[in-house]
Amino acid sequence: MAVYAFIFPGQGSQSVGMGAELAAAFPSARAVFEEVDDALGEKLSQTIFEGPMEALTSTENAQPALMAVSMAVLRVLEEQGGLDLAGKVTLLAGHSLGEYAALAAGRAFGVADAARLLRTRGLAMQKAVPAGEGGMAALIGATLAQTQEICEKAGQGGVLEIANDNGGGQIVISGTMAAIDNAITLAKEMKIKRAVKLPVSAPFHCSLMRPAEDVMAEALAKADIAAPIIPVIANVTADKVSDPDAIRQALTKQVTGRVRWRESVEAMTGMGVDTFIEIGAGKVLSGLVRRIDPEVSTSSVGSPAEIETLLKSF
């Protein structure tokens, strides 16, 4: 019998029109988007369904938008599909902002609170570093040790840190723009397969985000957080987190800390998970999981047809 983990995507998975088919087909999905709109005091759903892409990709919009789509999918699975989440799913995890969706799925907090926290998080991350002063780059085919060496050499006089260990030879670095440029040059000299700047508006998951971490510490201290009904794997520890204060601490540290996605997937397979279901927009995490462990089963669920297929498999 399969052992399931539900995983929730992060920034970069967004696309204009995501969730629109769901909202048109299911009242429970529409209710999620309306709840997010009400929580934020604006029609974020219109930006999600109609664009423009530039507005959707803006960090303060992309973060609550991706969570909304994930929760709309989950709500349909539970309300229309009769899914008993706690009875079927062993672990929950999300990539960066996806951890908020995982916690909302596990009832640690509600959709409205998740939307407000993610709007605060997105705005704080955007304001932490002046535009153009920081950036991120993906190193393809680099080991963790090679990446650490690049960060140490290229980051002298600036900030350069490992932001995401995504697995499958994909590591993302984050820091000051000069250090990022140095790193790309050095990676080519070291014959790293590929080093490319990412189209992001800020250097996420590094110490330059300290002002945003302080903002989130304050916001999370005020948030009403319960123990989730299913254990959630935290990005910063790659381990289970369930105590509300530990959740606050993990989400606060996540702003500047490394997203340990490879380690998280390895931890989940070590706990017996053999089937990963990506809930929400895109298929990015499914691809990463397959590269980390080709033996496991993966699928992505974001449309009415994909929901129907998943429910038949349970």
Residue 41 tokens, joined? 């005091």
Is the N-terminal amide bond of 52 cis, ω within 30° of 0? yes
CA atoms within 13 A on the CB side of 294: 1
Amino acid at position 187, single letter? A
Are 64 and 44 spatial neighbours (Cβ–Cβ below 8 Å)? yes
Residue 192 tokens, joined? 């790293």
Are 13 and 281 spatial neighbours (Cβ–Cβ below 8 Å)? yes
Alpha-helix runs per DSSP H in 51-199: 53-57, 59-79, 85-88, 98-105, 111-128, 144-154, 177-189
CA atoms within 13 A on the CB side of 186: 20
By annotation, the residues acting in catalysis are 96, 205
Long-range contacts of 144-151 (CB under 8 A, 24+ apart): 144/171, 146/190, 146/192, 147/171, 147/173, 149/190, 150/183, 150/186, 150/187, 150/190, 150/192, 151/175, 151/183
Report the first-to-last Cα separation within the chain, whole angstroms. 10
Q: Indicate the DSSP class of residue 259.
A: B
Which residue carries 């990963």 as its tokens?
Answer: 276
Give Dmax over CA atoms of the chain in angstroms: 56
